[in-house]
Amino acid sequence: MSAVDVRELADIAALEGLAADLGDILGAGDVVLLEGPIGVGKTRFVSAFVAALGSTDQVTSPTYTLMHVYETPRLLVLHLDAYRLSGVEEYLDLGAGDFAHDAITMVEWGDRVAGAHPEHLGLVLEFGQSGDNSRRCTIRRRGRSWPLPGVLAP
């Protein structure tokens, strides 16, 4: 996987801006794997992404429910969480693949199921300064490329 871009996010508004940027370039069939520690903002990112696509659906954590489906004016967003899964086999059994070609798929703790997605965009979120709302997001891609602004390493 090659490093594509690093975004310093000063606050939630910056996270929302990144989500909107990705909303402009991602399309049906695309897969985003979200990585990063508990509470860093993976669910918050999906919420911002779904809103950026024009949906008013309420986004909640799928840690226990495993998969949520959100409708947006453009396409569906599948929101999954691999935290409690035993591995790729259990992940595939959830059945998201059956309609992923008509949707954008976003998976929290997605690094755990990267083997199921030879082509994906990886977003790695890290906490910034302790006590503030800053985050760093490293964007990586595997298997194909997207027209991301600010490419560091093609």
Asked if 43 is part of the footprint of ligand ATP (rule: CB under 6 A), the reply reads yes
Asked if 35 is part of the footprint of ligand ATP (rule: CB under 6 A), the reply reads no
DSSP-assigned beta bridge partners for residue 7: 137
Q: To the nearest whole angstrom, how small is the minimum distance from the Cβ of residue 115 to ligand ATP? A: 20
User: Hunting for tokens 């975004």 — which residue is that?
Assistant: 7
Q: To the nearest whole angstrom, how small is the minimum distance from the Cβ of residue 104 to ligand ATP? A: 17
Q: Which 56-85 residues touch ligand ATP, going by CB under 6 A? A: 61, 63
Q: How many CB atoms lie within 10 A of CB 39?
A: 9
DSSP string, 115-142: GG-SSEEEEEEEE-STTS--EEEEEEEE
Residues in contact with Mg ion by CB under 5 A are 42-43, 61, 108
CB 60 within 8 A of CB 79: no
If the CB atoms of residues 83 and 146 are measured against Mg ion, the closer one turns out to be 83
Query: Encoding tokens for residue 34?
Result: 């979200």
Residues that bind ligand ATP (CB under 6 A): 9, 11-12, 15, 36, 38-44, 61, 63, 108, 133, 135
